[in-house]
Amino acid sequence: MSDLIYDLPGEDSNAVATVILAHGAGAGAESEFMASMAQLLAQQNINVVRFNFAYMQTVLATGKRRPPDRMPRLLECFNAVIARVTQQWPTLPLFVGGKSMGGRVATMLLDDSPARGGIALGYPFHPPGKPDKLRTEHLESLQKPLLIVQGERDTFGTQKEVRGYSLSSAIDTQFLADGDHSFKPRKASGYSQQQHIAAAARHCQRFIAAHL
């Protein structure tokens, strides 16, 4: 496991919680989306910890693309980070989450983790173009609170599609106007991707505050 990436509140601020954020399948923890989200949350007095899954560490070391590890390996990697972070800040409330695939991994370990809740930024409800291949079975019986922030026209699950799913009552889903899988809207919408990322961070801050 490579070093963790920390985004922390200023020296004069006391953190109210810790969030572990995992990256999506194609871009690592240092991606612009991940960095922006982490910085915005840190400004809300939240400790943010980012990390790269093992396969992404190999991608970054070799410069060669490779597919994500299988779910058991991803879960093992995420749980190892949870163990390190809870040892570092044992008394701070913990939340787990991530972008796309990273958020999915977080939702799969959430109920059995020490986290108070989870955050999924662009949940991959199904592969693009394959709406019948749903990844929602575990979300139907989820016990701990989960926030899903989703672009309205996300090809991994549009607002119309998601409204029709049978999801646990513990899940709060917030939609971003005209946003795609990375929250990027079309120009004609009048919104910008950065506005939506900022809005997503505000949803996260409110969700965390509600579960402290």
Domain that holds residue 138: 5-210
What's the domain count of the chain?
Answer: 1
Note every long-range contact of 190-198, with CB atoms under 8 Å and residues 24 or more positions apart, other chains counting.
194/36, 196/151, 197/33, 197/36, 197/37, 197/40, 198/40
**Rg, C-alpha atoms of the chain:** 16
- pLDDT tens-digit map of 115-148: 999 999 999 999 999 999 999 999 999 999 999 9
Domain CATH for 84: 3.40.50.1820
Give per-residue pLDDT as tens, 173-201: 999 999 999 999 999 999 999 999 999 99
pTM of the model: 0.97
